[in-house]
Structure 1
Amino acid sequence: MSYVIEQPVEARLVAAAPRMSSIPAALHYDRRDPFAVRMTFPAPATLEGVEVCWTFSRELLTAGLRESVGHGDVRVRPYGYDRTVLEFHAPEGTAVVHVRTGEIRRFLDATAALVPVGLEHLQLDLDHDLAVLMRDAS
């Protein structure tokens, strides 16, 4: 059984100009980190020319399909019938992207098939993680 789900999505960057540029992005889920999802933007799509990866909770992404959520670096909200807005806040500025809600739902359905919502804790190996922390603290 696979540990990782990766799904390419088409993100539309909201810029100051009315035109929205389409940029490739990917959503990632790894059952070894069952509460988190990552959204990665390739180097050509970023101002710095390096790949950028944002990590945030699966719960945030799920809730953001229904209502505006998030108070920190990542915020998610529905936009119209078929779009979801993701805002990424960093000291350098804010990136706002639109993604088709259907693409996000398919991704979330795949993650739920891999690790059902509410059972994420069963994927954690707390003894191993504690041993790693204690070893690093020495």
Structure 2
Amino acid sequence: MDAAIEQPTVARLITAENREVPVSATLRYRAHDPLAVFVDFPAEAALDGEAVTWTFARSLLDQGLRAPAGHGDVRIWPYGGTRTVLEFHSPHGLALLQFQAAALRRFLQHSYQTVPAGQEDVGAVVERGLSALFDEV
């Protein structure tokens, strides 16, 4: 059985006018993909009106809760004592979202209870990835 964690939360989208707009999100973790975390946003939160999921390394979230981390499409850093910023880059633009750090920590802790750090079955992840890649060819 694939253990999964889903944690609904609310983020604050920082607009170009520096306003904060509440946005619902769901944090997800799946034991069969132990290196990744997922953040789902509903259609009403996206510019194109379609639901979107961001996937990035669980270790990046862990690092970003303590100090600035990441480069490229996803960057994470602490903001003040109670919030954490997730910055997402796509071909369509940039999104800055603030999350309650306690909610992200709780989610991360549950993921480590499901699959402890260092005990991820990386071989199985690589095998699935290669199979998916070559099955599509």
TM-score, with normalisation over the residues of structure 2? 0.90
Q: Give runs of aligned pairs for residues 105-124 of structure 1, distance below 5 A.
A: 105-121=105-121, 124=124
Counterpart for residue 5 of structure 1: 5
Per-residue deviation, 1:91: 1.1
Contact 1:34 1:123 in 2 (8 A): no
Can you give the 5+ residue segments of structure 1 that lack an aligned partner in the other structure? none
Q: CA deviation at 1:16?
A: 1.9
Q: TM-score, normalised by structure 1?
A: 0.89
The answer to whether 1:55 aligns with 2:55 is yes
1:132 maps to 2:131: yes
Q: Which residue of 2 aligns with 1:67?
A: 67
3-state DSSP class of the match of 2:7? strand
RMSD of aligned alpha carbons: 2.2
Report the counterpart of residue 41 of structure 2 in structure 1: 41
SS in 1 for 2:111: helix
Q: Deviations over 1:89-137 (max 9, x none)?
A: 011110000000000000001000100011012783666x388359627
Give 1:2 shift. 5.7
**3-state SS of paired residue (2:49):** coil
Alpha-carbon distance between aligned partners in 2 of 1:42 and 1:15, rounded to the nearest angstrom: 17
Q: Go from structure 1 to structure 2 and tell me whether the alpha carbon gap of 1:83 and 1:136 turns closer, same or farther (over 3 Å shift).
A: same
| Code of the aligned partner of 1:25 | A
Alpha-carbon distance between aligned partners in 1 of 2:3 and 2:83, rounded to the nearest angstrom: 28
Largest Rg, 1 or 2:
1
Deviates more, 1:118-127 or 1:8-17: 118-127
Q: 1:130 to 1:16 in 2, by over 3 A?
A: closer
**Residue number in structure 2 paired with 1:99:** 99
Q: How many residues align?
A: 137
Percent identity over the alignment is 45
In structure 1, the partner of 2:21 is 21
| Residue deviations 1:12-40 (CA, integer Å, cap 9, x gap) | 00012233010000110000000000001
Q: 1:42 to 1:130 in 2, by over 3 A?
A: closer
Measured in 1, the distance between the counterparts of 2:28 and 2:130 equals: 27
Q: Which runs of 5+ in 2 are unaligned?
A: none
2:12 counterpart SS class: strand
Q: For 1:124, what is the secondary structure of its paired residue?
A: helix
